């Protein structure tokens, strides 16, 4: 993983993303990095859960693929001032080092959050704000110690099944199903039929949803109960 090139590119909504030369994939959609993250993870994940569980005053997130840190930043932005306490566990075996030019932050507060997120040591945690605690794990997701009924929302933002099939296995989906609370939500930008079937086999109720610009569909999986 050390012999690769990371190229900063601008996407259609003006926000940047990074292209990974080894995988020949971008971290976000070229049709809009922020647009995609807001649609897939914030809208179909976080907002959907809160709409259905408005009394929840503590939210526990898991993100597979911390990457640019955009999903974490947008979650921070969305939850600030809501009175809800957030815990955010993120896994990325190879944290992004070339992040300084990713100008996602809107203000100094967000710049501080974004800087702390990327400079936080591996396998450690920090209180990012009085309501937001983040832990950063630099390991294979297969080795992450998932606990039963822990998470409210899972953002699954790994590289695609074609590129990293080992991150899209029935075994992993079963671990994640068990790690969600009843009513918990798992979301991804992927809409592949095999992924949908494997999620269903793990116990999820799976929905195909309209995708963000440039993508016809995405998947949302819910642990019913």
The answer as to whether 207 is a domain residue is yes
Q: Is residue 166 part of a domain?
A: yes
Residue 14, in any domain of the structure = no
Q: Is 17 within the bounds of a domain?
A: no
CA distances from 198 to 153, 171, 176, 203 (A): 19, 9, 12, 9
Give me the pLDDT at residue 58, please: 98
Pick left, alpha or beta for residue 32 (phi over 0 → left; psi -120 to 50 → alpha; otherwise beta): left
Query: What confidence score (pLDDT) does residue 1 get?
Result: 46
Confidence label for 2 from pLDDT (cuts 50, 70 and 90): very low
Q: What backbone phi and psi angles, to 5 degrees, belong to 140?
A: -65, 135
Range of the domain at 206: 33-222
Q: How long, in residues, is the chain?
A: 225
**Does pLDDT of 6 surpass 90?**
no
24 part of a folded domain: no
- Read off the pLDDT of each residue in 126-153 and give the average, rounded to a whole number: 98
CATH of the domain at 120: 3.40.50.150
**pTM (2 decimals)?**
0.96
Q: Which residues touch 184 (CB under 8 Å, ≥6 apart)?
A: 49, 151, 152, 153, 154, 222, 223
pLDDT at residue 4, rounded to an integer:
60
Q: Is residue 134 part of a domain?
A: yes
Q: Which residues, including other chains, have CB under 8 Å from residue 145's CB and lie 6 or more apart?
A: none
Please count the structural domains in the chain: 1
Answer whether residue 176 is part of any domain: yes
pLDDT mean over 61-72 = 98
How does DSSP assign the chain, residue by residue? --S--EEEEE-TTS-EEEEETTTTEESS-TT-HHHHHIIIIIIIIIIHHHHH-TT--EEEEEEE--TTSHHHHHHHHHHTTS--EEEEEEE-SS--S--TT-----SHHHHHHHHHHHHSPTTEEEEEETTEEEEEE-S-GGGS---TT-EEEEEE-PSPTTT-GGGS-HHHHHHHHHHEEEEEEEEES---HHHHHHHHHHT-EEEEEE-STT-SEEEEEE---
> Please, what is the average pLDDT of the chain?
96
The predicted model gives 147-156 an average pLDDT of 98
Report the C-alpha gap between 209 and 224 in whole angstroms.
Answer: 18
Q: Average the pLDDT over 178-190 and give the result.
A: 99
pLDDT in tens, 97-133: 889 999 999 999 999 999 999 999 999 999 999 999 9
Whole-number pLDDT of residue 225: 81
In a domain, 21, yes or no: no
């Amino acid at each position: 993983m050390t012999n690769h090139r990371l190229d900063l590119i601008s996407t259609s909504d003006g926000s940047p993303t990074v292209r990974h030369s080894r995988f020949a994939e971008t971290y976000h959609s070229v049709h809009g990095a922020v647009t995609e993250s807001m649609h897939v993870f914030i809208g179909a994940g976080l907002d959907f859960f809160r709409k259905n569980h408005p009394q929840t005053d503590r939210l526990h997130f898991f993100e597979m693929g911390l990457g640019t840190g955009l999903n974490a930043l947008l979650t921070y932005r969305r939850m600030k001032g809501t009175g809800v306490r957030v815990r955010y566990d993120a896994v990325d075996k190879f944290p992004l080092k070339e992040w300084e030019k990713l100008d996602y932050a809107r203000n100094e507060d967000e710049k501080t959050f974004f800087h702390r997120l990327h400079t936080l040591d591996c396998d450690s945690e920090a209180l990012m704000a009085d309501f937001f605690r983040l832990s950063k794990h630099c390991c294979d997701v297969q080795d992450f110690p998932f606990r039963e009924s822990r998470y409210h929302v899972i953002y699954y933002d790994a590289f695609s099944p074609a590129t990293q099939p080992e991150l899209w296995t029935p075994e992993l989906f079963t671990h994640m199903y068990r790690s969600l609370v009843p009513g918990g939500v798992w979301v991804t930008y992927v809409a592949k039929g095999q992924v949908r079937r494997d999620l269903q086999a793990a116990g999820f109720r799976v929905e195909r949803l309209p995708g963000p610009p440039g993508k016809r569909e995405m998947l949302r999986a819910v642990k019913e109960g």
